[in-house]
Structure 1
Amino acid sequence: MSTAPRARNRRGEGGLLRAEILAAATGLLDASGDPRAVTLRAVARAVGIAAPSIYPHFLDQSAIVLAVVRQAYAELADLIGSAMDRAGEDPRHRLHALCAAYLDFAHRHPERYRLLFGGVRIPGPGSGITPEDLLDLGAGALRLVVEGMTACVTAGCCTSTDPAADAIALWLGLHGLAHQRAIVTSFPWPADITRRLAVPLSHLVA
């Protein structure tokens, strides 16, 4: 990462600096796998600014980490949505596509994925993160799972009587599989394990 001083943004370009700070924080997380590496000093060094220049954009380190989490959830939702669009009109294909996309994100971005469900949800003493900040984390991605499940019910290929609750169960199942794949890398996972997990949890029928 660059440590050279950066050129000052022109008036009205403060949003660009915020984006650079966020990109630097994400890069530090990806490189280290540890959110503690995302310090104000390290981020400032990566961007080429003085640490106090961060404060107009982020109150403290926890606010930067929370922004990284929000962006990662948005990336996950975009990946799921794009996969569903590419899958066509069949709701079963779309549901399987979203499951595959979820697991693909966890595999390709392990550090970010761990952060989504890690300590940011249990703020430490002095953290600037409030319970209200955590309420909507992941809501966009989960909404797509609910919509996918509901579409299957409407099409008659899913017997769920509570798509919202079953979408949460499917999400938890996918999270469990993603976690186990990450820590038990040598296990001979069945090639169709995603389908074996998704079909019963989503109550899909032939």
Structure 2
Amino acid sequence: MEKTSAAGPAAPKRARARNRRGEGSRLREDIISAAAALLDETGDEHAITLRSVARKVGIAAPSIYPHFPDQPAIMLAVVQREFAELETLLRSVAQEAGDDPRDQLYAVCRSYLAFAKSHPERYRTMFGGLWMPTLGDNSLTEEDLVSLGSTAIQVLVDVLTDCAAAGQCAISDPGLDAITLWLSLHGLAHQRAVIRAFPWSEESIADSIIARITCLKDA
């Protein structure tokens, strides 16, 4: 029997409106957005299941299968979208920093750390959270996992290459140095997230990391 109150019958939960023909891609994006929202709300990757995502979108769980064969595929799509947004952010701030490669380098690195700070749950998930499955037990491939984040890292490679070409830093392998720089920034972002009281100046540490790893020359 439907519950009632003094204000009248309880309003039934509205189901999601069905997509028109050709709008399946919209449902796919809705599924990804719902999974990302659940991650933000719960901070728990285990909370993202086919049932919970379907409930969040307002569809039946089987409606997910034409778009995603399993839960790891949904998580992969969430992570891929976050990396795409990170890449867009980093390229945008590099462009806004002007023509000086040194300024672009600092802008990209600082924006990376700001992204990690403002999206802690998503950031943790992007870099090998609990969702990472054992290959062979699901629909994911090794290439799916190996390629994650490569385009965002390429932004660092690009700005380091420009710095070296301008004679502003002493590096010999932009690709390797970009990975080294990223690992150091990632370590800083991780420590900042897990230490309740961070007693050091984050900006000065970040600037020191950038200058020391790239052998950045004085302006």
Structure 2 match to 1:21: 31
Is there any run of 5+ residues in structure 2 with no aligned partner, and where? 1-12
Q: Could you tell me whether the CA contact under 8 Å between 2:45 and 2:131 is conserved in 1?
A: no
**Is 1:196 equivalent to 2:208 in the alignment?**
yes
> What letter corresponds to residue 144 of structure 1 in structure 2?
V
C-alpha distance after superposition, 1:122-170 (max 9, x if no partner): 5377232221211210011011000010000000001101111101000
**Is 1:133 equivalent to 2:135 in the alignment?**
no
Provide runs of 4+ in structure 1 moved above 4 Å. Answer: none
SS of residue matched to 1:128: coil
Cα distance in 2 for partners of 1:177, 1:142 equals 16
Q: Out of 52, 60, 81, which is 1:50 matched to? A: 60
**Is 1:155 equivalent to 2:166 in the alignment?**
yes
> What letter corresponds to residue 172 of structure 1 in structure 2?
L
Q: Tell me the CA shift for residue 4 of structure 1.
A: 2.7
Q: What TM-score, normalized to structure 2?
A: 0.89
Q: Percent identity?
A: 52
> What letter corresponds to residue 178 of structure 1 in structure 2?
A
> What letter corresponds to residue 184 of structure 1 in structure 2?
I
**Is 1:205 equivalent to 2:214 in the alignment?**
no
Rate the CA distance shift 1:163–1:178 in 2: closer, same or farther, 3 A. same
**Is 1:8 equivalent to 2:18 in the alignment?**
yes
Cα distance in 2 for partners of 1:172, 1:108 equals 19
Rate the CA distance shift 1:123–1:4 in 2: closer, same or farther, 3 A. farther
Q: Out of 98, 115, 119, which is 1:109 matched to? A: 119
Structure 1 match to 2:79: 69
Q: Out of 154, 167, 175, which is 2:186 matched to? A: 175
Q: Out of 21, 25, 30, which is 2:40 matched to? A: 30
Report the aligned-residue RMSD.
1.3
Q: Tell me the CA shift for residue 116 of structure 1.
A: 1.1
Q: Which has the larger radius of gyration?
A: 2
SS of residue matched to 2:81: helix
> What letter corresponds to residue 198 of structure 1 in structure 2?
I
Q: Could you tell me whether the CA contact under 8 Å between 2:16 and 2:59 is conserved in 1?
A: yes
Q: Tell me the CA shift for residue 35 of structure 1.
A: 1.3
C-alpha distance after superposition, 1:66-97 (max 9, x if no partner): 00010111111111111111111100000000
SS of residue matched to 1:192: helix
- Give the number of equivalent residue pairs: 204
> What letter corresponds to residue 120 of structure 2 in structure 1?
P
Is there any run of 5+ residues in structure 1 with no aligned partner, and where? none
Q: Tell me the CA shift for residue 59 of structure 1.
A: 0.5
C-alpha distance after superposition, 1:155-203 (max 9, x if no partner): 0001101111101000000000000000113021224221011111122
